[in-house]
Structure 1
Amino acid sequence: MTRIHPFFVLQTALVVLLSLFLAATAKADQPAQRIVSVGGAVTEIVYALGEDHRLVARDTTSNHPAEALELPDVGYIRRLSPEGLLSVNPDLIIAQEGAGPPEAVALLQEAAVPMIEIPEGHDTEAVVAKITAVAEALGVAEKGAALAGDDRKQIEAAQAGATGLAGKRVLFILSMAGGRIMAGGVDTPADGIIGMVGATNATADFEGFKPVTDEAILASGADVILVMDRTGDMGITDDALFSHPAIAATPAGQNRAVVRMDGMMMLGFSVRTPEAVRELSKALQQVGG
């Protein structure tokens, strides 16, 4: 019986360990190829960067471009399904700030799935930061710098064309289920886009999205109502708007002045923000007092 020298055994074990380490390191150095995008703004940026071939799933808010709808849906951004996320075997999740719930995020951490959070914000600098962060997460920083620079120029050009809107009071209504109005105050994407076109948020006396009283609506002095262009149960019809007594008494109600826009384009603060600024400013210039 041939006896194996202990040194040979040790040497073999070291070679095996080194091989495993090098393989793991090489894998870690490889860019992620199975990515889940969470947040419509993030998904739009991934496509704009030309990195959509690496996506294996997206969340419900990711509805643009149309090709994104062909990807598996892992749930709403704040009600993600951990089972759905893990079922697509991702090697990276790029998520907009606020994605959750926390228990889903905890499960992903236990499963050792890397998750990069992209900061939110509601101005030009936020758009640039968002594009830059997504590009860095994808490992394409140079492409991100080019896209961010182009988007900044387009936003500035769109804002230059947004004239004559100073003092125009815009009331953003998120929903009015049961006749109860949920409006957008400061520190919201609605407040951000209204400010970017040079208009005034008519409900800037509170933060976030909150239910508002009839008295508050009357006091807003809204010249224009701004809503998302939605249908079905979440949609807000002209009849529902202008039959509301408080709205009917505002300048917007008296002039039946309402602007409808694609929600993700208007509130996403992503690569389509220049288009949102152009569309909103043009619409506001044409309606209201």
Structure 2
Amino acid sequence: MSRLKLLMRRLGAVALIAVLTAASANAEEGKTVFADKSRIVSIGGSITEIVFALGEEGRLIARDSTSIYPEAALKLPDVGYMRALSPEGVLSVNPSGILALADSGPKEAVDVLKKASVPFIEVPETFDSEGIIEKIRIVGKALGTDAKAEALADSVAAKLQAAEKLTDGITERKRVLFILSLQGGKILASGSDTAANGIISLAGGVNAIEGFSGYKQLSDEAALTARPDVILMMDRGGGDPSANVDPFAHPAIASTPAGQAKALIRMDGQYLLGFGPRTTNAIHDLAVALYGDRVKD
């Protein structure tokens, strides 16, 4: 092979590598910033709250059914529950981008959406202060509003820090049992790695359940062993069949310290477990409900 041909081949290889590198860079950018930010679908209540908090709600054309705050979000078309999505339903609104909270599903539907021609940005979720700040920054970057996102992140971070200090002086921490459901007399409770565990910790409480992650059914013996001081449940509203369930009607719960004291806290589910900009207020309200005037307000 002549030196000229060898040189041409080498130059071709270099050019190919450069093209692939550029394509890779563009693909990576596509994962973090929408090229067209005019028609966005938001999947996940906290994501929608952040978009509104950034003042970018005009970009939204649809939301999922967990996106119920602020009230203005309810005017947007609903593409379904974030864990029971239909690709056809999401794509039917002709979005230019999809912002979805991690754990949206089912997996098969999300896989289809990720392979579609519409850019899909997945926003990770961790149930702590850092996770909230990271979500704000990721959403801001996706919408091209980095400066506004940084300002919001700084404001929320300061409020989170103040909220977490509310219970600094309390030495005897309340043991809190979060019950997701009591249907059929079966106790579905929260372990670690859950939004309930995260908010209990931030509000100065201790999750009464140890030894498992996620939400699992408790035996009566496990409920008694947990020895909760307080039962925490979602206020689901009067339209929900489980809205008026009395946890203390359950014999095992009635026998706990919480049952004997009739200590029950109900809070709006999205407000309590959303881990968005309003979580600073939720921490405050839960801390006050747990400790009353001992909270350093």
Contact 2:191/2:216, CA 8 A, preserved across alignment: yes
Q: How does 1:58-77 map to 2 (within 5 A)?
A: 58-77=63-82
Aligned residue among 192, 208, 212 for 1:206: 212
CA shift for structure 1 position 249: 0.3
**Residue of structure 2 in register with 1:170 after alignment:** 176
**Residue of structure 1 in register with 2:279 after alignment:** 273
Q: Quick one: structure 1 residues 256 and 286, their matched pair in 2 at CA, closer, same or farther if it must change by over 3 Å?
A: farther
Kindly provide the amino acid, as one letter, of the partner of residue 37 in structure 2: A
Once residues 192 and 35 of structure 2 are traced to their aligned partners in structure 1, the CA distance between those partners, rounded to angstroms, is 42
Q: Secondary structure at the match of 1:226?
A: strand
Q: How does 1:244-263 map to 2 (within 5 A)?
A: 244-263=250-269
Q: Are 2:118 and 1:113 aligned?
A: yes
Query: Normalization by structure 2: what TM-score?
Result: 0.83
Kindly provide the amino acid, as one letter, of the partner of residue 213 in structure 2: E
**Residue of structure 1 in register with 2:12 after alignment:** none
Aligned residue among 143, 148, 153 for 2:148: 143
CA shift for structure 1 position 56: 0.3
Once residues 156 and 41 of structure 1 are traced to their aligned partners in structure 2, the CA distance between those partners, rounded to angstroms, is 19
Q: Are 2:164 and 1:159 aligned?
A: yes
Q: Are 2:54 and 1:49 aligned?
A: yes
RMSD: 1.7
CA shift for structure 1 position 89: 0.4
**Residue of structure 2 in register with 1:22 after alignment:** none
Q: Which moved more, 1:106-115 or 1:204-213?
A: 106-115
Q: Quick one: structure 1 residues 29 and 270, their matched pair in 2 at CA, closer, same or farther if it must change by over 3 Å?
A: closer
**Residue of structure 2 in register with 1:124 after alignment:** 129
Query: Normalization by structure 1: what TM-score?
Result: 0.85
CA shift for structure 1 position 236: 4.3
Q: Secondary structure at the match of 1:76?
A: coil
Contact 1:259/1:283, CA 8 A, preserved across alignment: yes
**Residue of structure 2 in register with 1:134 after alignment:** 139
- Uncovered stretches (5+) of structure 2, i.e. residues with no partner: 1-32
The Cα offsets for residues 146-187 of structure 1, whole Å up to 9 and x where unpaired, read as 101100100111122235364210000000110101000011
Q: Secondary structure at the match of 2:38?
A: coil
CA shift for structure 1 position 234: 5.0
**Residue of structure 1 in register with 2:244 after alignment:** 237
Contact 1:32/1:138, CA 8 A, preserved across alignment: yes
**Residue of structure 2 in register with 1:12 after alignment:** none
- Uncovered stretches (5+) of structure 1, i.e. residues with no partner: 1-27
Q: Quick one: structure 1 residues 90 and 29, their matched pair in 2 at CA, closer, same or farther if it must change by over 3 Å?
A: closer
Q: Are 2:84 and 1:85 aligned?
A: no
Kindly provide the amino acid, as one letter, of the partner of residue 244 in structure 2: T
Number of aligned positions between the proteins: 259
Once residues 234 and 116 of structure 1 are traced to their aligned partners in structure 2, the CA distance between those partners, rounded to angstroms, is 35
The Cα offsets for residues 4-51 of structure 1, whole Å up to 9 and x where unpaired, read as xxxxxxxxxxxxxxxxxxxxxxxx985410000000010000000000
The Cα offsets for residues 234-257 of structure 1, whole Å up to 9 and x where unpaired, read as 53436x311100000011111110
